């Protein structure tokens, strides 16, 4: 449940124990005292004498005053009260049409067209209520409503602990105020502190926000929600999951802990981790504790990319209209910091940090970036990855660009392309053209029907390679070309290794499970939309009661 929520629940249970301990022992039981009546008559019923009290009846027991229009008092200190029944103990006032009071149990069963309990600003309305005058605990069934200036709360049954200002509602609990509509299976509500504790499955609606969880609390004074156990949040922008969460509405901030998943359908992306900090007004979130970013198209099974790092920073870009694109094109959707690795069926990579712009479909890799595409290893000081139609379209390898691939037959031979700037072009995620600008160098092992015929060693200011079926078909040099073909007998691997070459296949992720084993939660949005919102049936029924006995206005002023 979480430490804070556990403390709240323990406080509620402690209050209940205090209330139970307040009950007098058997030796302290007091007799029912008849203080006043306009008319008193004794009646014989069988072998017993029953006292009939009529007019301005006042009876006292357990420091509780009980008044009514008439009453029957029985020999065992049980009595029945009829007409305008009023019970007062400390700050608690209770009103009904009828009461059956058992002094041995200290319980009055109050009934009526409408039974009303007032305690300060709190009002409880029902039609069936049992009140314990020793513990000041009321129990209602067949529907009850508590309301004050802040909240309305209803359920089929529940308790009210007057000494502790605590309401416990069970069975179809529904609550509302100016901000929220709530459904829960069980709820504890501290009326003076304005704190509601949820102990079972709970649903909350606020404007376009939907919340679901199994335990937690709501502190209205601080506008703070704590949720735990199967936490789910949804709005028109995102879906979120976690083991527990805090939400601070005034600050428009939230925190999520344990198995966190943030899903943004508009951006075709999600973030996974064990901690997330959310900034609602900035459409911003950052994730730590083994975070993973997931990017996909409308068919995620075809081309999903998994990205891991020490920290993920995710910003939602809400609009994609032309004006917004012009203004926000520099904004990045996702930043990954420190120890970055990613896997996609067609491309894998590693670097110190990277960013992704959802509008431009542009990924940027910084600090020793390296990529693998099919048999090719690509590296540079900085890389810019461009996508088109959700496929790899172009790769700019800026400063110290290097492409290497292993020879199919001799594993110690490596084809190499090097230059200050390399632009790699892709079609259907296959490399088909390479443009090398500035200090271009190449080492390429030549084969004819798989037989090695020599090695091409060339340098030029600019070199252009045309590739088909993953083999170089044509090479064009700009100017000042120095090239030679070395026959197989003269090949010296050390002499043919370009400066900066480093084969790093051990860093290459082999599957998405090299990035993360985290499971991805399926969307619950459509299911959440089918959950019926509160209807406040009990409140409507209670509000519809006419001509009920209700306290005079001076009692409201007195409280």
Q: Give me 232's structure tokens.
A: 């789910």
> Which residues, other chains included, contact 555 with Cβ-Cβ below 8 Å and sequence gap of 6+?
93, 118
Residue 267 — pLDDT band, cuts 50, 70, 90?
confident
Instruction: Please give the pLDDT value at position 4.
Output: 42
Instruction: Please give the pLDDT value at position 329.
Output: 37
DSSP 3-state of 28: helix
Instruction: Please give the pLDDT value at position 319.
Output: 47
Instruction: Please give the pLDDT value at position 298.
Output: 61
**Angle CA(506)–CA(287)–CA(324) in degrees, nearest 5?**
105
Instruction: Please give the pLDDT value at position 297.
Output: 67
Q: Per-residue pLDDT averaged across 20-26, rounded?
A: 40
Distance CA 307, CA 451 (A): 40
Asked whether the predicted pLDDT for residue 382 surpasses 80, the reply is yes
Residue predicted with more confidence, 187 or 19: 187
Residue 23 — pLDDT band, cuts 50, 70, 90?
very low
Residue that is written with structure tokens 């299911």 in the block: 527
Q: Closest Cα partner for 370 from 334, 393, 397? A: 397
Asked whether the predicted pLDDT for residue 380 surpasses 80, the reply is yes
Q: Per-residue pLDDT averaged across 39-66, rounded?
A: 91
Q: Per-residue pLDDT averaged across 128-145, rounded?
A: 95
Residue 145 — pLDDT band, cuts 50, 70, 90?
very high
Instruction: Specify the DSSP class assigned to residue 300.
Output: H
The widest CA-to-CA distance across the chain, in whole angstroms, is 132
pLDDT tens for 249-258 read 888 888 999 9
Instruction: Specify the DSSP class assigned to residue 26.
Output: G
Number of other residues whose CB lies within 10 A of the CB of residue 411: 9
Residue 6 — pLDDT band, cuts 50, 70, 90?
very low
CA dihedral 56, 62, 63, 65 (to 10 degrees): -20
* Domain with residues 266-522, CATH architecture: Sandwich (2.60)
Asked whether the predicted pLDDT for residue 497 surpasses 80, the reply is yes
Q: Closest Cα partner for 515 from 347, 366, 368? A: 347
Share of the chain above pLDDT 90, in %: 54
Residue predicted with more confidence, 467 or 85: 85
Asked whether the predicted pLDDT for residue 360 surpasses 80, the reply is no
Residue that is written with structure tokens 């909350």 in the block: 204
Element spanning 15, H or E: helix 3-21
Q: Give me 528's structure tokens.
A: 């959440």
Q: Per-residue pLDDT averaged across 480-494, rounded?
A: 87
Residue 3 — pLDDT band, cuts 50, 70, 90?
very low
Instruction: Please give the pLDDT value at position 332.
Output: 54
pLDDT tens for 225-250 read 999 999 999 988 789 999 999 988 88
pLDDT tens for 333-346 read 788 999 999 998 88
DSSP 3-state of 89: strand
Instruction: Specify the DSSP class assigned to residue 441.
Output: E
pTM for the complete prediction? 0.80
Q: Per-residue pLDDT averaged across 511-515, rounded?
A: 92
Q: Closest Cα partner for 229 from 206, 218, 245? A: 245
Q: Per-residue pLDDT averaged across 149-157, rounded?
A: 91
Distance CA 495, CA 478 (A): 25
**Backbone Cα Rg of the chain:** 38
Residue predicted with more confidence, 388 or 169: 169
Instruction: Please give the pLDDT value at position 327.
Output: 32
Instruction: Tell me the C-alpha to C-alpha distance, in Å, between residue 383 and each of 184, 367, 439.
Output: 52, 9, 18
Residue predicted with more confidence, 1 or 505: 505
Instruction: Please give the pLDDT value at position 326.
Output: 30
Share of the chain above pLDDT 70, in %: 89
> Which residues, other chains included, contact 166 with Cβ-Cβ below 8 Å and sequence gap of 6+?
12, 15, 16, 160, 188, 189, 190, 191
Asked whether the predicted pLDDT for residue 351 surpasses 80, the reply is yes
Asked whether the predicted pLDDT for residue 60 surpasses 90, the reply is yes
- Mean confidence (pLDDT) of the chain: 85
Domain boundaries, the chain: 266-522
Alpha carbons within 13 angstroms on the beta-carbon side of residue 187 total: 31
């Amino acid at each position: 449940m979480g430490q804070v929520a556990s403390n709240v629940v323990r406080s509620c249970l402690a209050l209940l124990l205090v209330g139970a301990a307040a009950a007098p022992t058997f030796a302290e039981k007091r007799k029912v005292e008849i203080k006043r009546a306009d008319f008193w008559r004794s009646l014989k019923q069988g072998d017993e004498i029953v006292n009939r009290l009529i007019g301005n009846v006042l009876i006292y027991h357990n420091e509780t005053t009980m008044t009514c229009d008439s009453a029957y008092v029985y020999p065992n200190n049980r009595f029945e009260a009829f007409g305008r029944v009023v019970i007062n103990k400390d700050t608690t006032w209770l009103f009904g049409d009828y009461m059956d009071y058992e002094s041995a149990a200290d319980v009055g069963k109050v009934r009526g067209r409408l039974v009303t309990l007032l305690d300060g600003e709190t009002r409880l309305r029902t039609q069936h209520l049992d009140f314990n005058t020793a513990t000041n605990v009321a129990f209602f069934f067949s529907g009850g409503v508590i309301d004050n200036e802040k909240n309305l709360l209803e359920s089929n049954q529940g308790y009210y602990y007057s000494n502790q200002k605590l309401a416990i509602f069970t069975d179809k609990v529904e609550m509302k105020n100016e901000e929220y509509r709530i459904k829960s299976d069980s709820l504890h509500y501290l009326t003076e502190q304005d704190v509601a504790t949820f102990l079972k499955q709970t649903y909350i609606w606020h404007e376009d926000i939907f919340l679901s969880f199994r335990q937690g609390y709501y502190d209205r004074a601080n506008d703070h929600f704590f949720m735990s156990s199967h936490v789910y949040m949804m709005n028109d922008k995102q879906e979120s999951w976690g083991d527990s969460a805090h939400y601070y509405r005034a600050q428009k901030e939230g925190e999520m802990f344990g198995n966190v998943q943030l899903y943004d359908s508009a951006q075709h992306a999600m973030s996974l981790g064990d901690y997330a900090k959310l900034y609602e007004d900035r459409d911003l979130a950052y994730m730590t504790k083994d975070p993973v970013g997931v990017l996909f198209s409308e068919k995620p099974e075809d081309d999903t990319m998994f990205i891991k790092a020490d920290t993920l920073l995710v910003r939602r870009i809400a609009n994609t209209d032309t004006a917004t694109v012009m203004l926000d094109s520099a904004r990045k959707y996702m930043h990954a910091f420190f120890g970055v690795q990613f896997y996609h069926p067609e491309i894998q990579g590693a670097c110190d940090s990277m960013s992704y712009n959802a509008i431009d479909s542009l990924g940027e890799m910084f600090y020793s970036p390296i990529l693998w595409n099919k048999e090719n290893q690509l590296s540079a000081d900085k890389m810019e990855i461009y996508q088109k139609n959700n496929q790899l379209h172009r790769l700019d390898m800026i400063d110290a660009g290097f492409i290497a691939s292993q020879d199919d037959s001799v594993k110690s031979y490596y084809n190499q392309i090097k230059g200050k700037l390399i632009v790699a072009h892709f079609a259907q995620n296959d490399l088909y053209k390479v443009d090398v600008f500035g200090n271009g160098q190449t080492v390429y092992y030549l084969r004819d029907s798989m037989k090695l015929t020599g090695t091409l060693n060339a340098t030029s200011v600019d070199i252009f390679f045309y590739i088909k079926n993953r083999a170089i078909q044509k090479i064009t040099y700009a100017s000042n070309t120095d090239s030679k073909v070395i026959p197989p007998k003269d090949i010296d691997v050390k002499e043919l290794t370009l400066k900066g070459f480093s084969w790093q296949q051990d860093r290459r992720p082999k599957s998405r499970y090299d990035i993360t084993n985290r499971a991805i939660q399926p969307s619950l949005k459509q299911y959440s939309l089918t959950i019926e919102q509160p209807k406040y049936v009990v409140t409507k029924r209670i509000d519809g009661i006419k001509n009920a006995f209700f306290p005079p206005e001076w009692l409201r002023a007195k409280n």
